[in-house]
């Protein structure tokens, strides 16, 4: 908890005028269109610095991002969100907030439920969820695709995996907004979200202990951690926090950005309808070009990255999205090429912290796009509406008004 | 055409599973989702393109393709 009101609610950030020396990933200009900013930063240096957020670096090239992601000696994952405040570390979420040697056993526990085979078993439910959602708005001829479609798919899928009611999804969405968006600048919002979420899951934990089932919460309660010991309640709660925080607005954003692209690009839409086998390749390209997730590290020991000195005590904004737009790594990096053949994108991270839910996210994206295109093959942005984007750590459309049918 | 052989470096693989998705005939996943080459890694005739496709899409550069 914060020790004074002033530490919990900080003033709004002044607008950025010098991106190279004073970048701010919460600035409205960045939120609206970060791509030209990353280009400016990359042209200046492979690593840039800002005094904001109590001191923070940002690697701007694929190479620099990779060096940091692979270097767990100098860069810790104990803080994974760049914020205005750095309170004592409390709510851990292993393995995303773990460093070696604790990381591996914490991750191994979570991997088996998220393999591609496990995702195949979940796929029919996700396909049904997508169609249930489309049924609700297709007759209207228009919808806000972010509010009515993309938002609900990952929430319901993860609720299904955890064995909790899919209708509790609205609660999850509120907590995630408090933690990932409001929490960057407001400690009270962050803690309130964490507290409510912990209370909710604690009740489910107690219930599973009395009546175990085969859902993911029960699997975690049965799992053995380091040394063959069962996981502590605190560990299980932390991992559930992680699944919810990392598994929902990330995929919501990824599906939303894909639909945003397709709404504006009839040629790509037509090609995917004619060649549905190309959809998985297109999904990888959407993941590269519109990567939703930016992570963070804390510099523990002075070192150099791509020749640039970095000093302990600073945070690092680990921008996988910026890495994925680096023209040194990807020819035509700023073009969306839905049949791109060579695509080593880092949307799910690089190194030991590779997203544990990557197979889930890919399956949800593929199913969501397939089902949408089957039922709404023609759609476009509503010229009377406004597309808005989330702020901060996860980027995706939060309002996505679209009209169905061919342009009149 | 020369014969290809593939190998997944177990120290580098992080389980992105791109290879399994692109070349399911050539790779298999363990219970944690990490990849191994099928059998001794010999690429059957006709699957050479898939071997290269998997190699060039692995984010961790964990796949070695050698020509014999």
Chain A residues touching residue B16 (CB < 8 angstroms):
348, 354, 358
Name the token pair of A316.
């690092």
Residue with structure tokens 């399994």?
A: B20
**pLDDT tens string A166-190:** 889 889 989 988 887 888 788 898 8
**Using beta carbons and an 8 Å cutoff, which residues of B are at the interface with A?**
14-18, 20-21, 29, 31-33, 53, 56-61
Q: Is residue A21 part of a domain?
A: no
Q: Is residue A16 part of a domain?
A: no
Q: Which residues pair with A49 in a beta bridge?
A: A57
Q: Is residue A3 part of a domain?
A: no
Chain A residues touching residue B60 (CB < 8 angstroms):
350-351
Q: Is residue A261 part of a domain?
A: yes
CA dist A350 and A253 (Å) reads 20
A386 band by pLDDT with thresholds 50, 70 and 90: very high
CB A356 within 8 A of CB A95: yes
Could you tell me the CATH number of the domain that includes residue A134? 1.10.630.10
**pLDDT tens string A83-117:** 888 888 777 888 999 999 999 998 999 999 999 99
Q: What pLDDT is stored for residue A184 in this prediction?
A: 78
Q: What pLDDT is stored for residue A11 in this prediction?
A: 63
Pick the residue with more confidence: A9 or A207? A207
Q: What pLDDT is stored for residue A254 in this prediction?
A: 98
Q: Is residue A6 part of a domain?
A: no
How many C-beta atoms surround the C-beta of residue A113 within 10 A? Answer: 19
Handedness of CA A60, A64, A69, A73 (dihedral sign): negative
Strands A295-299 and A315-318: antiparallel
Q: What pLDDT is stored for residue A93 in this prediction?
A: 83
Q: How many domains does chain A have?
A: 1
**Using beta carbons and an 8 Å cutoff, which residues of A are at the interface with B?**
108, 111-112, 114-117, 280, 284, 341-346, 348, 350-352, 354, 358-359, 362
Q: Is residue A336 part of a domain?
A: yes
Q: What pLDDT is stored for residue A7 in this prediction?
A: 40
Query: Is A108 exposed, middle or buried (CB count within 10 Å of its CB: 0-12, 13-18, 19+)?
Result: middle
Domains present along chain B, CATH in parentheses? 4-67 (3.30.70.20)
Q: What percent of chain A has pLDDT over 90?
A: 80
- DSSP code of A184? G
CB A396 within 8 A of CB A254: yes
Q: What pLDDT is stored for residue A406 in this prediction?
A: 83
Instruction: Work out the angle at residue A175's Cα, subtended by the Cα atoms of residues A174 and A181, and round it to the nearest 5 degrees.
Output: 85
Q: Is residue A9 part of a domain?
A: no
Q: What pLDDT is stored for residue A10 in this prediction?
A: 55
Tell me: pLDDT of A2 over 70: no
Name the token pair of A377.
């093959």
Q: What percent of chain A has pLDDT over 70?
A: 97
Pick the residue with more confidence: A229 or A296? A296
CA dist A173 and A183 (Å) reads 14
**Nearest residue in chain A measured CA to CA from B58:** A344
Q: What is the mean pLDDT of residues A204-233?
A: 91
Write a three-state SS string for B21-51. Answer: HHCCCCEEECCCCCEEECCCCECCCCCHHHH
Q: What pLDDT is stored for residue A408 in this prediction?
A: 54
Q: How many residues does chain B have?
A: 68
**Between A116, A343, A344, which is nearest B17 by CB?**
A116
Q: What pLDDT is stored for residue A245 in this prediction?
A: 81
Q: Is residue A20 part of a domain?
A: no
A389 band by pLDDT with thresholds 50, 70 and 90: very high
Instruction: Work out the angle at residue A280's Cα, subtended by the Cα atoms of residues A274 and A286, and round it to the nearest 5 degrees.
Output: 100
Strands B27-29 and B35-37: antiparallel
Q: From residue A407, how far is each of A29, A373, B33 by CA, in Å?
A: 31, 16, 44
Tell me: pLDDT of B16 over 90: yes
- DSSP code of A394? B
Give chain A's mean pLDDT: 93
Give chain B's mean pLDDT: 96
Tell me: pLDDT of A329 over 90: yes
Q: What is the mean pLDDT of residues A26-38?
A: 96
Name the token pair of A116.
């591609």
The whole domain housing A43 covers 27-81+94-404
Question: Which of A6-15, A236-245, A308-317 has the least mean pLDDT?
Answer: A6-15
Q: Kindly indicate whether the ipTM for this predicted assembly is greater than 0.90, answering yes or no.
A: yes
Handedness of CA A123, A129, A130, A132 (dihedral sign): positive
Residue with structure tokens 């070696």?
A: A100
Using left for φ > 0, alpha for ψ between -120 and 50, and beta otherwise, residue A55 falls in left
Tell me: pLDDT of B12 over 90: yes
Name the token pair of A208.
């599973």
Q: What is the mean pLDDT of residues A307-320?
A: 98
Name the token pair of B53.
């496709």
């Amino acid at each position: 908890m914060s020790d004074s009101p002033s530490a919990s609610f900080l003033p709004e950030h002044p607008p950025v005028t010098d991106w190279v020396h004073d970048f701010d990933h919460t600035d409205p200009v960045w939120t609206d269109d970060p791509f030209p900013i990353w280009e400016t930063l990359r042209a200046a240096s492979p690593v840039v610095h800002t005094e904001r957020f109590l001191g923070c670096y940002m690697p701007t090239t694929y190479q620099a991002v990779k060096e940091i992601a692979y270097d767990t000696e100098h860069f810790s994952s104990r803080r994974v969100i760049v914020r205005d405040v750095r309170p004592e570390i409390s709510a851990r979420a292993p393995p995303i907030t773990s460093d070696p040697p604790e990381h591996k056993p914490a991750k191994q526990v979570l991997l088996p439920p998220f393999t591609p085979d496990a995702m195949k078993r979940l796929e029919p439910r996700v396909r049904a969820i997508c169609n249930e959602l489309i049924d609700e708005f297709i007759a209207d001829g228009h919808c806000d695709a972010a509010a009515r479609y993309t938002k609900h798919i990952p929430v319901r899928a993860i609720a299904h995996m955890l064995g909790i009611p899919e209708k509790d999804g609205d609660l999850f969405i509120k907590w995630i907004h408090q933690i990932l968006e409001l929490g960057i600048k407001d400690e009270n919002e962050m803690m309130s979200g964490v507290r409510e979420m912990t209370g909710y899951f604690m009740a489910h934990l107690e219930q599973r202990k009395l009546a175990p089932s085969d859902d993911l919460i029960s699997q975690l309660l049965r799992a053995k951690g380091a040394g063959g010991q069962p996981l502590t309640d605190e560990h299980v709660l932390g991992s559930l926090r992680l699944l919810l925080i990392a598994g929902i607005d990330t995929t919501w954003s990824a599906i939303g950005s894909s639909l945003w692209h397709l709404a504006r690009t009839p040629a790509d839409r037509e090609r995917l309808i004619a060649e549905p086998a190309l959809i998985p390749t297109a999904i990888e390209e959407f993941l590269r070009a519109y990567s939703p997730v930016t992570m963070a590290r804390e510099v523990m020991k002075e070192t150099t990255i791509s020749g640039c000195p970095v000093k302990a005590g600073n945070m690092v904004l680990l921008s996988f999205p910026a890495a994925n737009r680096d023209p040194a790594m990807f020819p035509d990096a700023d073009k969306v090429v839905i049949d791109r053949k060579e695509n080593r994108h880092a949307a799910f991270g690089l190194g030991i912290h590779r997203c544990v839910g990557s197979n889930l996210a890919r399956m949800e994206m593929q199913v969501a796009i397939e089902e949408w295109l089957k039922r709404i093959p023609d759609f476009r942005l509503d010229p009377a509406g406004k597309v808005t984007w989330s702020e901060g750590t996860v980027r995706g459309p939060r309002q996505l008004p679209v009209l169905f049918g061919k342009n009149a | 055409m020369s014969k290809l052989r593939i190998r997944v470096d177990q120290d580098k693989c992080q389980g992105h599973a791109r290879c399994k998705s692109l070349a399911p005939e050539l790779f298999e996943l363990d219970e944690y989702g990490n990849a191994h080459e099928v059998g001794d890694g010999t690429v059957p005739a006709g699957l050479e393109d898939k071997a290269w496709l998997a190699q060039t899409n692995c984010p961790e550069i964990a796949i070695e393709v050698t020509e014999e």
